[in-house]
Amino acid sequence: MNGLNKEEQALLVKIQDQKDEMLQGIFEVVSIPSERQEPADHAPYGKPVKEALDHVMEMAREMGFATKVIEDQVGIVQYGGNIDDCDHYLGIMGHLDVVEAKNQEGWISDPYQPEIRDGKIYARGILDNKGPILSCLYALKALKDLNIEPALPIRILFGTNEETGMEDVPVYLANEAKPAAGFTPDCKYPVVYAERGRALYYIDFDSIQKTIDWVNTYFIANQSKEKAMNLEINDPEFGLLQIRNTKMTEHSVEFAISYPPCITADKILDIIQGIS
């Protein structure tokens, strides 16, 4: 283990030692079908989502961590400091809700019965986001078991509404201070340092003819939608602006725009208002 100090070497050994325990824990959590459902008592996003949250909080308490749940929506696991009075901490934000697993997605095993095939785990939510966020929990356990004291308290935040609106985030921020610094493991391996923006736009028209004219001019013209709408934007690092999910009704059109950071949602709105 070249170039690593004693503490770092001990950490790597510890992580290897707890591999089976970590797999067991992750398997338990990916077996819970935490798709959003109708609200139930103390379960604003439905019972399975809350079951996943309760289960992870119990796992963390068994590891010896302080835990707290904000309004049945965001679970906090903390190492260092006082969980009930903590306004300066490192935050690691992830989530325990999953996207609905549909038959037509081509599952060849039950999405809620995890399987290892060719060294990979197959289960709904293993990548997005239960596997990564639980890996952070086991990493925190390794630090704690080795009595490595962090300079700042570390909080792992287990959100439960990432896939259908992130309504849990404002609830958390209304109750707790925001992290001094942090990261989210909710993306692609190994590191992603920025994401593109996404915004939805709606335009209302007072007649069907105006709606049709607009659609003919901008959506089904003899050029790309982006070009027609004066939104042909290419960022050298983040790629092209893209218009997606176009829809029309008698009196409106709507569409989503995925945009690189060289433009903002407000600037895009200015351009759309300029042509409309």
Provide the binding-site residues for Zn ion, judged by CB under 5 A: 128-129, 162, 186
In the complex with Zn ion, the residue whose CB is nearer, 166 or 262, is: 166
Specify the residue, 114 or 185, whose C-beta has the smaller distance to Zn ion: 185
Provide the H-helix boundaries in 195-264. Answer: 208-214, 225-228
The whole-angstrom separation of Cα 181 and Cα 88 is 9
Q: Dihedrals φ, ψ of 66, to 5°?
A: -75, 140
In terms of CB distance, is 74 or 243 closer to Zn ion? Answer: 74
Which DSSP symbol is given to 38? -
C-alpha to C-alpha distance for 105 and 101, rounded to whole angstroms: 7
Q: Residue 198 forms beta bridges with which residues?
A: 258
Nearer to Zn ion, 35 or 162 (CB): 162
Q: How far apart are CA 91 and CA 172, in angstroms?
A: 12
- Least distance between Zn ion and beta carbon 125 (Å): 9
**Minimum distance, C-beta of residue 254 to Zn ion, in the bound complex (Å):** 24
Residue 102 CA from chain centroid, whole number: 20
Alpha carbons 14 and 231: distance in angstroms, whole number: 52
Q: Taking the complex as a whole, how short is the minimal distance between the CB of residue 130 and Zn ion, in angstroms?
A: 9
Is the CB of 131 or the CB of 153 nearer to Zn ion? Answer: 131
* C-alpha closest to that of 133 among 76, 188, 75, 93: 93
